[in-house]
Amino acid sequence: MAEGALSGLRLIEMGQLIAGPFCGQLMADHGAEVIKVEPPKVGDAMRNWGQGVPLWFSVVARGKKSITLNLREKEGQAIVRQLAAKADFLLENFRPGTLERWNLGWEELSAINEALIMIRVSGYGQTGPYSSRAGYGGIGEAMGGMRYIAGEPDRPPSRAGLSIGDSLAATYACLGALMALEHRHRTGKGQVVDSAIYEAVLAMMESTVPEYTVTGHIRERTGSILPKIAPSNVYPTKDGSVLVAGNQDSVWKRMATMMGMAELGDDPRYNSHVARGERQAELDDMIGEWTKQRTSKEVLELCEEHGVPAGNIYRAPEMLDDPHFVAREAIVEVPHPKYENFRMQNVAPKLSATPGGIEWVGPELGQHNEEVYGELLGMDSRAMSDLAERGII
């Protein structure tokens, strides 16, 4: 693995599923030593998630070290304090108040290690009247405003097909942790990063709030279009469909020429952003009539020739076959102890000097107990055996 920008930094990951662990994945991708703490015998529930064969854990836990530890026991909590003393970050996504009940809150851990950065991911944040509520990603997406505008206008709100709320909260947690790290460089002091799922979603909601407070407008579900932004839609072809976005004035002129309708580029009915927005449905019908006379390949080749943004709507098979994905190594094969041909998305973003990489897929439960407890914390084999027998590790 190439050196990562976070090499030399250690993160203790507690919690499970997605909202916290995806933050840990991002940091492991870029070189941080991520020690994942899991309940003995059962591990992270994510180990059993996936479509058919449970493969998701192999992605979200890639590059991490797994140790088992019973956090509900005082001896387990004492071990967390030892780990925190030797860590740069501690990441958790329990319900707020849980760590405090275990005497592992910010006051306790920062007293042990004043440089520690504590990353906390939850549904509603660490404060406020809803903070103690259970909060899953879908609820955060609903309260943050995303679900209301997702889907077709004549149907109930839809989900995006991915756990986007959880992943957004984890991404903002990672961003906050790196900001806190820069602050620590200047002061030597750590701090708490408080990432709430609903706020991470809210942060992505563009101008929906001022649209309401200033004009009273509430953005509604619009399906595949963005109202008044035209032309930009999915259009039918002889063998499928393609997404074409010709909504900028100069691009629309090139697109009109591409379709053999150059005169429409300067037509006052279409030659401005506002005018095209008023005739969005009319434009979509016109373009759809043109695209459905051609194959997807023909449409895309013409769009490339004329500088019109366009693309196929990909699934995994198309991604694997695409030469651009191949050239940039966007998807890589990673050795897996159980499965052949195990491929997953590569590290993002790409850094020129410290690109990072994927060292291994999600580890076996407790695979790194001996390394972490023995080498990092200095436990001897007798002590580890005793803790294991009593269900502490």
Residue among 80, 109, 75 nearest 392 (CA)? 75
DSSP labels for 320-337?
HH-HHHHHTT-EEE---S
Strands (E), the chain: 10-13, 33-38, 64-68, 89-92, 117-122, 192-196, 232-237, 240-245, 310-311, 331-333, 343-345
166 annotated active-site: yes
State the Cα–Cα distance between residues 326 and 346, nearest whole angstrom: 11
State the Cα–Cα distance between residues 100 and 95, nearest whole angstrom: 10
State the Cα–Cα distance between residues 110 and 327, nearest whole angstrom: 45
Catalytic residue among 166, 194, 266, 284: 166
Q: Check whether the bond before 231 is cis (ω within 30° of 0).
A: yes
DSSP labels for 196-231?
EHHHHHHTT-TTHHHHHHHH-------TT--TT--S
State the Cα–Cα distance between residues 158 and 320, nearest whole angstrom: 28
* Residues designated catalytic: 166
